[in-house]
Amino acid sequence: MPISPDQQAEIDDLRAQPKPTLRAVSEGMETHLYKAHEVLDHGFIRVIDYMGDDAAICQAARVSYGKGTKSVQNDEGLIRYLMRHWHSTPFEMCEIKLHVKLPVFVARQWIRHRTANVNEYSARYSILDREFYIPEAGNLAAQSVINNQGRGEALSGEEAARVLEYLKGDAARCYDHYAEMIDQEGQQGLARELARMNLPANIYTQWYWKVDLHNLFHFLRLRADAHAQYEIRVYADAICKVVADWVPAAYGAFEDYRMGGANLSGKAIDCVRRMLKGEKVTQETSGMSKGEWREFEGIIG
């Protein structure tokens, strides 16, 4: 199960003891505070704490740009301006701290985003739970023939069944040996920091992850994208839903300008201008490589 009985009891106790505060409060985020949102078969995300809201972004920006800003732009318009022009520091005024339970191989992708504070469950000190990520059959796919870091067609029938049995059997066998090495029938077993090296990459770990909104948006732009690996994308999708309730104006601007927008090179903009004038532009006359042209066609349809 994603949440242990002890964790659920802690959550229930915290939610039952609301505290008054003078700091800025996001009503949308308050509904998520401490609540676990299940991801994959045993994972979850839950908000531990947060700082700031849409108003905090505007407050910081107006300190930077002077009092005149407030009289000419409302908060949502200001936030859209900041997002549109790639301003970053006002969004750094908001922070979120998440408790995340995730497979180790997903954690190794996630930790590549180095602009956050992380504290992970220690397998040197504690014993990892017997929980592994086993994909649903529909998420088992062959290696892509055009993308070295992507998936191709889904496996089916006997091939999918064989792979699932490998995943389940290997994970169970590794954990059995891990547990056996630690506990030698009452005698002092192998050190936990050594025994853990035998565990598979699909075992679950947990961490606290704290990040500011600017860097969180960068994480979500990459990991909630359709091209991201499914197993990290579902975590990003769950976080997106939380952020949309926390800072709705900022998230709306993020969806519009980052997730729904596109960046064009100077050559691509030149091609668009030529096309608008009625010129027929091809890859050969565009000045772009085949890969760039293919991406450009994908953007303009």
Q: Three-state SS across 92-129?
A: HHCEEEEEEEEEHHHHHHHCCCCCCEEEECCCCCCCCC
Pairing of strands 183-184, 141-143: unpaired
Q: Which residue has the tokens 């009891």?
A: 9
Token pair recorded at residue 42: 């045993």
Q: Which residue has the tokens 């499914």?
A: 230
Same domain flag for 149 and 179: yes
Looking at 201, 220, 243, the residue that finishes a domain is 201
Does position 147 have pLDDT exceeding 80, yes or no? no
Same domain flag for 18 and 110: yes
Same domain flag for 50 and 87: yes
Summarize the annotated binding site as residue ranges. 89, 109-114, 120-124, 196, 212-214, 218, 223
Summarize the annotated binding site for dUMP as residue ranges. 109-112, 120-124, 196, 223
Range of the domain at 43: 1-133+204-261
Same domain flag for 177 and 58: no
Q: Are 111 and 119 in contact (CB under 8 A)?
A: no
Q: Which residue has the tokens 């090495």?
A: 181
Residue 173 neighbours by CB under 8 Å, 6+ apart? none
Same domain flag for 195 and 144: yes
Same domain flag for 122 and 250: yes
Same domain flag for 299 and 248: no
Residues with catalytic function: 223
Domains: count for the chain = 3
Radius of gyration of the CA atoms of the chain, in A: 24
pTM of the model: 0.88
Q: Over the stretch 89-140, which tens digit does the pLDDT of each residue have?
A: 999 999 999 999 999 999 999 999 999 999 999 999 999 999 999 998 888 8
Q: How far is CA 188 from CA 182, 183, 184, 185, 289, in A?
A: 8, 7, 6, 8, 62
Same domain flag for 144 and 167: yes
Same domain flag for 12 and 66: yes
CATH (domain of 217) = 3.30.1360.170
Q: Over the stretch 159-206, which tens digit does the pLDDT of each residue have?
A: 888 999 999 999 999 999 999 999 866 677 899 999 999 999 999 999
Give pLDDT, residue 67.
52
Burial class (CB in 10 A: 0-12, 13-18, 19+), 19: exposed
Same domain flag for 286 and 269: yes
Measured CA to CA, the distance from residue 181 to residue 159 in angstroms comes to: 33
Looking at 182, 201, 220, the residue that finishes a domain is 201
Summarize the annotated binding site for FAD as residue ranges. 89, 112-114, 120, 212-214, 218
Same domain flag for 60 and 151: no
Same domain flag for 111 and 218: yes
Looking at 186, 201, 216, the residue that finishes a domain is 201
